[in-house]
C-alpha cells in the first residue's frame, strides 16, 4: 500500500526527534500502521541549521505554505510553535484537506475551537498528543481509555522546566537562574522561557485537559495562572517541615457550580506519588468516578519523548484516515454538538486549603488576633508552626495550614490580617491540595 506522506513544518528539537525515530523504527511502524509513513519534505527558514537537525537526506523548503497545502501530502505536522504563522498554516492545511498533527499547546489553548471547527467542517483529523505532557499519552488516556468515567478532577505536573527548577533548587541547592539555564540547555524550555516560569505553558496544557475531561470548549482566557517566579526557598523548607512538597500544578476540577481551572505552586503531601516526581518528569493524576485515581508518569519534554507522541498521532491517523469522519474519535473527546456550557469558576468561587506564612512582631496576642480573624471567616486551622525569621528575636514567621475553604473567604480574612500593625510583610499565601 502507498505510504502515508508527511510534511514537517519546523526543523527544531521535536522535528529532529520525529525524523530520527521514524527512520529508526520504520519497519515496526509499518507493521503497526499497516503502511509506511514517509516524510516528503521539511519546511525551515534556516537551511544550514535545519540540516544539522534533520540530516542531509530529506528534502528541505522555505515555502511553508506551499508545503502545508501540497497536493501529495496527507498529514501536516506543525512543529514550529507560536501562534502565527502556525495558526494560518494549520488552517490552510485543513482547508486543503490535510490531517494535522501538532505539538503546539499555545496554539490549541488559544485557537483550538476555531481549528477543531474547521477540521470538523473539512472532515480531517487534528491530533495533539504531544501538546500535553510530552511523551505521556495522556490525551488518548483521558479521551479514550477513561471514556467510561465521569471525570472528577485532573491535577498534573505538566511543565518539565519548572519541575526541573524546583527539584534542582530543593535537592542541589542551585539558584533559580542556574537551574533555568540547564533546563534550556537540555531543550525542555519554551522558546520564551517566561512561558514556563510564569505558568503559562502549564496553563495552555491544563486548558486542553479541561476541555477533554469535561467536554467543554477550550477557554484559555478563564484559567487562573501563577508561576514559580516569586516562590521563596523559605516556603519550600517550611512546607517540608510540615510534610509537604511544593509543585507547580495544573488543576481542573468539577465543582458544584462549575469547573475549576487553575495553575499555581501547590503544597501536596510528601507521601503522594506525584509529590515525588522530580526533574523534568511530568505526572498527571486523573480521578474518575469508576476507575478511581490513575497516575500517568513520564518525560514531558525532550526531542524523542515528544516525537513518541507525534508519531503515535501519525500512526493513529494512518489507521483511521479511511474511516468515515462521523465514526472517528471526536477531537475534544465529546461529540462536537454535545459540548457543555458549564462555566469555569472565578478564583473567589474555588474551594481549596491554604499555607500562610505571616511575618509578625513577636509579642503577646499576635497569634490570637490572626486565628480570631480566620475563625470569624469560618476557617479552621489544620497545623501551625512558629519559626524565628533569622532577623532578631523580635520578629517571627508564623506558618499556618488551613482546612478547605472558599477562596473568597480567604481573600477577606487575608485583607484583615495584612492590615494588622503587627504584620510586618506581605503575607505569603500558597494553595494546598490533598489530592485524595
Spell out, one character per residue from 265 to 304, where the chain touches ligand HSE: x when CB under 6 A holds, - when not.
Answer: -----------------------------------xx---
Given a contact cutoff of 8 angstroms between Cβ atoms, the answer to whether 19 and 303 are in contact is no
Q: Is 330 in the site for ligand NDP (CB under 6 A)?
A: no
- From 192, 259, 256, 201, select the one nearest 228 (Cα to Cα): 201
Q: How far is the CB of 86 from ligand NDP (least distance, A)?
A: 7
Residue 302 binds what, of ligand NDP, ligand HSE, none (CB under 5 to 8 Å, by partner type)? ligand NDP
Q: Smallest gap, in angstroms, from Cβ of residue 171 to ligand HSE?
A: 18
Complex with ligand NDP: residue 62 or 121, whichever CB lies closer: 62
Q: Choose, by CB under 6 A, the member of 24, 49, 361, 372 that binds ligand NDP.
A: 49
Indicate which residue of 98, 105, 140, 205 is catalytic: 205
Is residue 98 a contact partner of residue 68, using CB atoms and an 8 Å limit? Answer: yes
Q: By CB under 6 A, name the one of 145, 187, 215, 217 that touches ligand NDP.
A: 187
Q: Is 44 in the site for ligand NDP (CB under 6 A)?
A: yes
Count of residues near ligand HSE by CB under 6 A = 11
CB of 108 to ligand HSE, least distance (A): 12
Q: Is 402 in the site for ligand NDP (CB under 6 A)?
A: no
Within residues 138-167, the interface with ligand HSE by CB under 6 A covers 159-161
Output the smallest distance, CB 382 to ligand NDP, in A. 37
| Cβ partners under 8 Å of residue 194, min gap 6 | 200
Question: Which residue blocks in 34-155 are alpha helix, DSSP H?
Answer: 47-54, 64-68, 86-95, 105-122, 138-140
Distances (CA, A) of 20 to 11, 54, 102, 209, 314: 12, 8, 18, 29, 14
Smallest separation, CB 8 to ligand NDP (Å): 9
Nearer to ligand NDP, 182 or 433 (CB): 182
In eight-state DSSP terms, residue 347 is G
Q: Is 346 in the site for ligand NDP (CB under 6 A)?
A: no
Residues 79-138 that bind ligand NDP (CB under 6 A): 79-82, 85, 103-105, 130, 134
Q: Quote the CA–CA distance of 245 and 72 in Å, as a whole number.
A: 52
Q: Which of 264, 288, 290 is nearest to 206 (CA)?
A: 264
Is there a contact between 80 and 86 (Cβ–Cβ < 8 Å)?
Answer: yes
Q: 229 contacts which partner out of ligand HSE, ligand NDP, none, CB within 5 to 8 A by kind?
A: none
Per CB under 6 A, the list member of 189, 251, 284, 314 interacting with ligand HSE is: 189
Q: What does 74 interact with, of ligand HSE, ligand NDP, none (CB < 5 to 8 A by kind)?
A: none
Binding piece for ligand NDP, criterion CB under 6 A, among 44-52, 267-275, 331-339, 418-426: 44-52
Is 199 a residue that touches ligand HSE (CB under 6 A)?
A: no
150 preceded by a cis bond (ω within 30 of 0): no
Is 175 a binding residue for ligand NDP by CB under 6 A? The answer is no
CB atoms within 10 A of CB 225: 19
How many angstroms separate the CA atoms of 134 and 302, rounded? 8
* Phi, psi (degrees; rounded to nearest 5) at 139: -65, -50
- As a whole number of angstroms, the distance between CA 88 and CA 267 comes to 40
Cα separation, 176 vs 395, in Å, equals: 27
270-299 positions binding ligand NDP, by CB under 6 A: none
Burial class (CB in 10 A: 0-12, 13-18, 19+), 323: exposed
Is 172 part of the annotated catalytic residue set?
Answer: no
Cα–Cα distance, 39 to 61 (Å, whole number): 13
Binding interface with ligand NDP (CB under 6 A): 10-15, 44-46, 49, 79-82, 85, 103-105, 130, 134, 187-188, 190-191, 301-302, 306
Question: Which residues are known to be catalytic?
Answer: 205
Amino acid at each position: 500500500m502507498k505510504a502515508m506522506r508527511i510534511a514537517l513544518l519546523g526543523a527544531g528539537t521535536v522535528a529532529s526527534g520525529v525524523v530520527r525515530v521514524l527512520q529508526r523504527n520504520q519497519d515496526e511502524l509499518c507493521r503497526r500502521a499497516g503502511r509506511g509513513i514517509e516524510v516528503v519534505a521539511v519546511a525551515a527558514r534556516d537551511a544550514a541549521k535545519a540540516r544539522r537537525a534533520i540530516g542531509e537526506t530529506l528534502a528541505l523548503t522555505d515555502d511553508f505554505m506551499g508545503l502545508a497545502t501540497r497536493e501529495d501530502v496527507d498529514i501536516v505536522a506543525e512543529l514550529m510553535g507560536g501562534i502565527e504563522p502556525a495558526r494560518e498554516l494549520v488552517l490552510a492545511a485543513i482547508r486543503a484537506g490535510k490531517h494535522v498533527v501538532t505539538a503546539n499547546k499555545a496554539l490549541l489553548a488559544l485557537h483550538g475551537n476555531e481549528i477543531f471547527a474547521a477540521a470538523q467542517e473539512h472532515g480531517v483529523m487534528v491530533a495533539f498528543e504531544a501538546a500535553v505532557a510530552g511523551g505521556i499519552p495522556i490525551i488518548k488516556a483521558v479521551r479514550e481509555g477513561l471514556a467510561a468515567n465521569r471525570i472528577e478532577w485532573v491535577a498534573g505536573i505538566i511543565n518539565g522546566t519548572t519541575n526541573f527548577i524546583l527539584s534542582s533548587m530543593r535537592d542541589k541547592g542551585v539558584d533559580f537562574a542556574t537551574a533555568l539555564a540547564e533546563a534550556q540547555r537540555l531543550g525542555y524550555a519554551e522558546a520564551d522561557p517566561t512561558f514556563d516560569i510564569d505558568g503559562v505553558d502549564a496553563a495552555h496544557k491544563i486548558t486542553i485537559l479541561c476541555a477533554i475531561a469535561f467536554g467543554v470548549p477550550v477557554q484559555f482566557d478563564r484559567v487562573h495562572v501563577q508561576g514559580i517566579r516569586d516562590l521563596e526557598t523559605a516556603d519550600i523548607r517550611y512546607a517540608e517541615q510540615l510534610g509537604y512538597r511544593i509543585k507547580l500544578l495544573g488543576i481542573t476540577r468539577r465543582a458544584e457550580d462549575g469547573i475549576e481551572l487553575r495553575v499555581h505552586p501547590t503544597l501536596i503531601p510528601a507521601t503522594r506519588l506525584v509529590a515525588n516526581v522530580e526533574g523534568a518528569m511530568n505526572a498527571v493524576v486523573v480521578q474518575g468516578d469508576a476507575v478511581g485515581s490513575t497516575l500517568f508518569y513520564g518525560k514531558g519534554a525532550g526531542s524523542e519523548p515528544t516525537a513518541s507522541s507525534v508519531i503515535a498521532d501519525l500512526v493513529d491517523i494512518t489507521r483511521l484516515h479511511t474511516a468515515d469522519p462521523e465514526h472517528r474519535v471526536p477531537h475534544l473527546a465529546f461529540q462536537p454538538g454535545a459540548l457543555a456550557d458549564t462555566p469555569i469558576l472565578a478564583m473567589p468561587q474555588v474551594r481549596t486549603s491554604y499555607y500562610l506564612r505571616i511575618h509578625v512582631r513577636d509579642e503577646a496576642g499576635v497569634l490570637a488576633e490572626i486565628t480570631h480573624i480566620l475563625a470569624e471567616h469560618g476557617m479552621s486551622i489544620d497545623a501551625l508552626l512558629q519559626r524565628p525569621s533569622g532577623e532578631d528575636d523580635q520578629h517571627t514567621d508564623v506558618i499556618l495550614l488551613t482546612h478547605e475553604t472558599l477562596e473568597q473567604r480567604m481573600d477577606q480574612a487575608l485583607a484583615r490580617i495584612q492590615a494588622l500593625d503587627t504584620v510586618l510583610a506581605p503575607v505569603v499565601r500558597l494553595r494546598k491540595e490533598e489530592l485524595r
